[in-house]
Structure formats: C-alpha cells, structure tokens
Amino acid sequence: MGTPALHMERRRPLPTTSFPGGDPDATRTLRIDPAVMTERAQTLLPSACDVVVVGGGHAGCEAASAAARAGANTVLVTHRFDTIGAMSCNPAIGGIGKGHLVREIDALGGLMGLAADRGGIQFRMLNRRKGPAVWGPRTQADRKLYRAAMQGLIKETEGLTVVEGDVFDLSLDASGAVSGIVFADGPRIACRAVVLTTGTFLGGLIHIGDRQIPAGRMGEDPSLGLSGTLRRLGLSLGRLKTGTPARLDGRTIDWASLDRQRADDEPVPFSFMTDTIENPQIDCGITRTMPETHAIIRDNLARSALYSGQIEGVGPRYCPSIEDKIVKFGDRDGHQIFLEPEGLDDDTVYPNGLSTSLPEDVQEAFLRSIPGLEKVAILKPGYAIEYDHVDPREPRQVSFRPQGAGSLSRRPDQRHHRL
C-alpha cells in the first residue's frame, strides 16, 4: 500500500491552492495518489492527534465519528477513501437483531441509520406479527447511494481527518503504552489511543474451490503487518471465516416466473433524524433450491474449500453456506432464496442464501438448477474468506512492555495502558 495519502482535513484546513485543481472545497475531497505524493503533502500529514481509528468499514466510520463528536482530534486511516461505505457482502442494513443495533447507533448520534435511510431501496419491518420489542427494521441498500451517503457524512464530521494508507505497526512508548501508528514505509502518527476495526482484512485469504487469493475482500489487498504486531504483543489471534454468494446478471433472470417480495407500503426510517424516505422502493424475487441443486452440491462437496479441509477458520456468526445447509439440513427438500437487486440503476443481483466456496463451474451448475435462474450469467463468483481476529476473551485491559529491541510481551498485571 505504501506511503499514506492525506485525504481531507477538517479541523486544521489545508492550503487548498497548493494542490492541483485549486477548488476551495478541495479540503473535503482532496485525494493524493500515494505514488505521486509530494514532499509538501507528506509534511501535511497530521503528526499527532488524540485518536487514530484504523479501517473505514462500518465499525471504523462509527468509531471515528463518535470520537470526533466527543471532541477528540481524530484521524481515520483506511486503505481507500472510495471504499468507505462499501458493503462487503449483502447490501442490506438491519434485520432481526441487527436492526436494533442500527437504531441504538442512531440514538447515540451515529451515522449508519442516516446512511441507510439515504441508500435504502426496500424497507421492511420484519417480525411484525410479533410484539414491537422484536420487530426488525431492515432495508436493502443501493450500494452506490449508501456509499455516497456514508462518505458525505464522514466528510461533514468536524474534527475528523481521513488519511489513505496501510497501517503496518503500532508504536509504544517507553512504558509500553500504545503511542501511535506506523505506516508500511515509515511515516507515523502519534496519538493517545488507537481503535482497530480491520474487518476481514488481517491476513485475509479468499477461497474459491481450491483457488486461494490473498485479499481483504475481492479485489482489495489484505493487511499483513498488524497481525504480526498483535501477536508480538502477546494477544492470541484466531482465524474466522465467512462467505458470500455469486453476483448474478439480473438481465438473465426470468423474473416473470418468480414470486415477488414487496417493500412495506410505508417505509419506516432507521434514523430518528429522517422524516421521509425519498428513494423509490423495489421488489425482490423469491425462488427455492431444488433436489437437483442439492444433488449437484453433494456430488461436489470435496471441491468446496469449506469441506476439503482447506479452511481452518470458524464462522463468526451463524450464516451458513449453501454447502452447510445441504449437509446439516439434508432432509429439507428446498431452501428459500431471495433475489435482491443491488441498486436502482444496477443489473447486479445478490442471491441471498447461496453463500458458497465451491469452484465456479459448480456454482454455475447449481445456480442454473434453480427456477428462474435456468439461463443465469454469473458476474462475480461467490467465495469464502478467512482472516485473523483477536480472541474477544482476551483481558479487556492489558499493557505491553518492551523486552529489548523488537520484543514485546503482555503484562496483564499492569493497569495503565489500553489497546
């Protein structure tokens, strides 16, 4: 990833005229390609701040925005500004259990609910037949609209600077307290606290059948330095896995033959700050796997990365692949699949319920055995991904003391340093 690029500065405005374009609004949208980063731009990198948040995914955006709202001078470091608000898997927000979380984030002044209201294209209140305590607000989002909304909200946040770069290491002071972050090729930012929200990127490895691709998600490099740092600090790391289905070309789906799932007539926003939902609302298609689908998957289980022994990680939550469903619930004659358009002006369709790590030829064969998908074309194959995580059962408060150059160890008995 190389030298970090300064992306924007809010609290201490940059001299905008010194950058190509000369747009007075450039402080909000400035992007300097690391490959052509000037010496002058390097000097504009913040040298110190209160809080550095590493990672601009859902978690990082909320952490950075919360820190800045609380008055901390905050830097959000992420690989690319244009992936802020990117949705790795299903372009949906909320659902049973998760919808409550979005509402709680909103009540605390967070961003996700507002972005979902601006990007949502199929609002549904799940579980309405039960009491309001267990209703689950959910919306499918137009990927582009959600991303634009989140990037806009981040740009508007006072006291927040975004830097593009790969955080490779953490620096500690003489007492063992975390004192800053270090980029891959040397520059550093000193800070009082670091928040790591690296998602699926730490040591990320994609599996499609027996093909393996080092990546944080499809098309993006993994983060390779920080796992070593965390291990060196004595934290125990594990491997988690998750997966995603193939993306389909909606123009090759026989929509007319499928049942439809409609949005609610009156969409209920996530955020208490949103008055009305402006976006048009769309239908999804509904179909089912067939006995033939199950036979194709069963016959090829040995070629699935999940079942060939190639993947050692465990799932972070119960979101089973189609292979898992066929093996664990073999008596079922079919599994419901929702065909969810990924945007208002996008033909890409997300087949919800068909996450897989089977090879591409098997993916095509089982997809084409499903009603409505007989002639379907795959735009991107499904895949599984494994990545490093810190065991959440680690002590909540730990400290690190250097033991000679380059050697660090955890000292749980000391109280004053936090990670």
Ligand X SMILES: Cc1cc2nc3c(=O)[nH]c(=O)nc-3n(C[C@H](O)[C@H](O)[C@H](O)COP(=O)(O)OP(=O)(O)OC[C@H]3O[C@@H](n4cnc5c(N)ncnc54)[C@H](O)[C@@H]3O)c2cc1C
Q: Is 59 in the site for ligand X (CB under 6 A)?
A: yes
* Angle between helix 98-107 and 112-119 (nearest 10): 120
Contact 182, 176 (CB under 8 A): no
Q: Is 197 in the site for ligand X (CB under 6 A)?
A: yes
Specify the DSSP element, H or E, that contains 336.
strand 336-341
Residues that bind ligand X (rule: CB under 6 A) add up to a total of 29
Q: Is 78 in the site for ligand X (CB under 6 A)?
A: yes
Q: Is 79 in the site for ligand X (CB under 6 A)?
A: yes
The tokens describing 53, both together, are 């948040």
Q: In angstroms, rounded to a whole number, what is the distance separating the alpha carbons of residues 113 and 346? A: 23
Name the nearest CA neighbour of 319 among 237, 401, 240, 406: 240
Q: In angstroms, rounded to a whole number, what is the distance separating the alpha carbons of residues 354 and 369? A: 13
Q: In angstroms, rounded to a whole number, what is the distance separating the alpha carbons of residues 27 and 9? A: 6
Q: Which stretch binds ligand X (CB under 6 A): 28-36, 43-51, 71-79, 282-290?
A: 71-79
Q: Is 56 in the site for ligand X (CB under 6 A)?
A: yes
Q: In angstroms, rounded to a whole number, what is the distance separating the alpha carbons of residues 84 and 302? A: 37
Q: Exactly one of 385, 390, 398, 419 binds ligand X (CB under 6 A); which one?
A: 385
Q: How far is the CB of 83 from ligand X (least distance, A)?
A: 5
Q: How far is the CB of 216 from ligand X (least distance, A)?
A: 6
Residues 244-283 that bind ligand X (CB under 6 A): 244
Q: How far is the CB of 125 from ligand X (least distance, A)?
A: 20
Q: Identify which of residues 89 and 190 has a Cβ nearer to ligand X in the complex.
A: 89
Residues 85-124 that bind ligand X (CB under 6 A): 88-89
Q: Is 242 in the site for ligand X (CB under 6 A)?
A: yes
Q: Which residue reads 């919306």 in tokens?
A: 139
Q: Which stretch binds ligand X (CB under 6 A): 49-57, 135-143, 297-305, 361-369?
A: 49-57
Q: Which stretch binds ligand X (CB under 6 A): 14-22, 82-90, 251-259, 289-297?
A: 82-90
Q: Which residues contact 84 (CB under 8 A, 6 or more apart)?
A: 56, 61, 78, 147, 150, 151, 154, 162
Q: Identify which of residues 273 and 319 has a Cβ nearer to ligand X in the complex.
A: 319
Q: Which stretch binds ligand X (CB under 6 A): 6-14, 24-32, 153-161, 240-248?
A: 240-248
Q: Identify which of residues 253 and 384 has a Cβ nearer to ligand X in the complex.
A: 384
Write the CA distances from 176 to 190, 225, 255, 272, 318, integer angstroms: 14, 19, 60, 43, 38
Task: State the residue number with the nearest CB to ligand X.
Answer: 199
Contact 287, 373 (CB under 8 A): yes
Q: How far is the CB of 138 from ligand X (least distance, A)?
A: 13
Q: In angstroms, rounded to a whole number, what is the distance separating the alpha carbons of residues 307 and 286? A: 28
**Residues in a beta bridge with 208:** 211
Contact 269, 402 (CB under 8 A): no
Q: Exactly one of 272, 319, 328, 332 binds ligand X (CB under 6 A); which one?
A: 319
Q: Is 57 in the site for ligand X (CB under 6 A)?
A: yes
Q: Which residues bind ligand X (CB under 6 A)?
A: 54-60, 77-79, 83, 88-89, 166-167, 197-201, 216-217, 223, 226, 242-244, 319, 385
